[in-house]
Structure 1
């Protein structure tokens, strides 16, 4: 019997997912919030997840922007560095503590700001998931399901890889690197930082809600499609129902915990 190239690739990817070794991402491990939807998709014979991020806040210092007298967008490969990265919204209130000694404030813009400055960017980047599909038909089915629940940034790339994406973003300059002193100069005050932390918290909550919606759409339309004709109805084995309920329960528990923690953070922020 000839070997199935897609199944071979899927088996290799699943072995990496189950491995305890760190991956190539900055975090080094899969985000827990991604696991339910990854498990769901990987249960389909024609699909396998290849990379994921549940959503994160990052604070990033741009890299060198001037090359041979021409101006380029600063990137992490050009001397840029992460000041802070988290996939956990509960870390937001204290994100400056680790490098507060490097910070000074210039809210009056005493120094001239130019495009060549290496800016400090505060970002919220939403959930993204890449899925390799066996063929274009299965890729189209997944793409259409994602589009139907608002994942308008999704697309199908080469080798039938579907990128599931949504436009819930923040990208705000909050300061720059003083290259003469190596100090981080913020041109916004801490009250403004609290404001965008609150905005990011709202993005986290919306992002998780959309992940749950995507999960349900994929389950209903692809994994366990609901047949509504009078002559036919879905028949689920006990094992299939038990596994579906387990996945739903896991996601609901995480959603409940996240909502409770978010409400607590909002109460603390409102306390004088």
Structure 2
């Protein structure tokens, strides 16, 4: 029996992980069910395999901090002591997220009320919407270029081809604003220097970005299916083959499988 080449070995290992019920290494612990249809589509191609994904999410995050020198500190990400206040990949869980925080740990005040507290050591509360992103490892530069060109033609202008023929599919539908700060001198209270009304406006903007993001994902799915996956089916030798599933049926099946996988993972916690 012939030995598999490195790409096929890597692809088989990745697909085993995708199909496993074990939690993955992402903060969420599992694949977003909205990503499953396009992942399944791409993974059906012999020259491509998805390596990481995110369907899009809202996140509210307190920056971490570290000492740079005796008299200087630097704020940064989770690895520096930051923490999530709220994260969701679901559009219907965006509005009123702030009500999930404990009332005794939050406070609203205007920017003027904070006086001269602002400096480089302030740990800000960041409100973010991050759109769909997908990484796909390809067998060669030819298949990577084909996928990259399709993504670019759908408006995924932040996409690129990295090392080992890995295509990063990205789009600029982002939102990233500071909405408060951490009061480390007062039991780490969360001080919001914007109003609840302003946060409500951000929430509605985020919902609109979720909707736009989903439309672009559907557009990308359809174009990959048409220009990459279904191209061989146009050959005379395959015209008479039985069609097993329509695109819509395949997408709905993978969505249900993703929900069932998440349900099983939650039942194990």
Q: The TM-score by the shorter chain falls in which range?
A: 0.7 to 0.9
Of 110, 131, 135, 1:130 maps to 135
Q: How does 1:172-187 map to 2 (within 5 A)?
A: 172-181=177-186, 182-187=188-193
> Out of 81, 94, 98, which is 1:96 matched to?
98
Q: CA deviation at 1:41?
A: 0.1
Q: TM-score, normalising length from structure 2?
A: 0.86
1:106 Cα offset (Å): 1.3
Structure 2 CA distance for partners of 1:202 and 1:251, relative to 1, 3 Å: farther
- Counterpart of 2:259 in structure 1 is none
**Map 1:1-272 → 2, pairs under 5 A:** 1-64=2-65, 66-68=67-69, 69-70=71-72, 72-101=74-103, 102-111=105-114, 112=116, 113-181=118-186, 182-225=188-231, 235=239, 237-240=241-244, 242=245, 244-248=247-251
The alpha-carbon deviation at position 146 of structure 1 amounts to: 0.2
Q: CA RMSD in A?
A: 2.3
User: Separation in 1 of the partners of 2:81 and 2:240?
Assistant: 55
Report how far residue 247 of structure 1 moved.
2.1
Runs of 5+ unmatched residues, structure 1:
254-272
Cα distance between partner residues in 2 of 1:78 and 1:234: 56
Distance 2:53 2:47 in 1: 18
Q: Is the 8 A contact 2:36 2:255 kept in 1?
A: no
**TM-score, normalisation: structure 1:** 0.85
State the alpha-carbon separation in 2 of the partners of residues 191 and 226 from structure 1. Answer: 53
What is the aligned length? 250
Structure 1 residues 217 and 234 mapped into 2: Cα distance closer, same or farther (>3 Å)?
Answer: farther
CA distance in 2, matches of 1:73, 1:222: 44
Contact 1:61-1:118 at 8 Å conserved across structures? yes
Q: Distance in 1 between matches of 2:93 and 2:62?
A: 19
- Per-residue deviation, residues 59-109 of structure 1 (Å, max 9, x unmatched): 000011552144534111111000000001211223122323210111142
Contact 1:127 1:165 in 2 (8 A): yes
Mapped to 2, the partners of 1:120 and 1:41 lie a distance apart of 37
Distance 1:174 1:236, change over 3 A: farther
| Structure 2: runs of 5+ lacking an equivalent | 257-269
Q: Could you list the runs of 4 or more consecutive aligned residues of structure 1 that deviate by over 3 angstroms after TM superposition?
A: 69-73, 231-234, 248-253
